[in-house]
Structure 1
Amino acid sequence: MKKEVFIDTPYITLGQMLKEESVISTGGQAKWFLRENTVKVNDEPDDRRGRKLYPDDTVDVPDAGSFVIRSKQGE
């Protein structure tokens, strides 16, 4: 089951999402985490911490689970 990540902005970056969901403890760790782990965004590998995630995007993180981005506005 995918965990829902609610955002109140048009998008969230991959690095911000990893920090918010406590996959990493600081934003600065995103670069190294993404270099050492295969994170998939919408079923494709992506290692860009600045990757913009929009509502309905899915993120699969090894050993942390799957996440789906949702808008708080219900858009």
Structure 2
Amino acid sequence: MSEIKLREDYIKLGQALKAAGSVGSGVDAKFVIQDGRVKVNGETEYQRGKKLYDGDVITYEGETIRIVK
């Protein structure tokens, strides 16, 4: 499990996937999210701009990413 440390109050889902190195670009993030391949807190998420806060967990391709303050 990797972690992304928040610099602000939240990070958007597309930015989090890029920061974790799970996708190469924002365009890649857009497509994997639209295809329903990303889960946030166990629920499939289709919004690239979904705001993530401390404690949220992203799952993508068997990788888990935790958002921490």
Tell me if both proteins adopt one fold, taking TM over 0.5 as the criterion: yes
Report how far residue 18 of structure 1 moved: 0.7
Q: Secondary structure of the residue that 2:64 maps to in structure 1?
A: strand
| In 1: Cα distance, 2:65 partner to 2:24 partner | 17
Moved more, 28-37 or 50-59: 28-37
Given that 1:24 and 1:30 are in contact with CA atoms closer than 8 Å, whether structure 2 keeps it comes out as yes
Q: Secondary structure of the residue that 1:5 maps to in structure 2?
A: strand
Report how far residue 37 of structure 1 moved: 4.5
| In 2: Cα distance, 1:15 partner to 1:61 partner | 12
Task: Report what 1:45 is aligned to.
Answer: 44
- Give the TM-score normalised by structure 2: 0.88
Structure 2: any 5+ residue segments left out of the alignment? none
Segments of 4+ moved more than 3 angstroms = none
> Aligned Cα RMSD in Å?
1.3
Whichever of the two has the greater Rg, that structure is 1
Among all aligned residue pairs of Structure 1 and Structure 2, give the percentage whose two residues are the same amino acid. 33
- Give the TM-score normalised by structure 1: 0.82
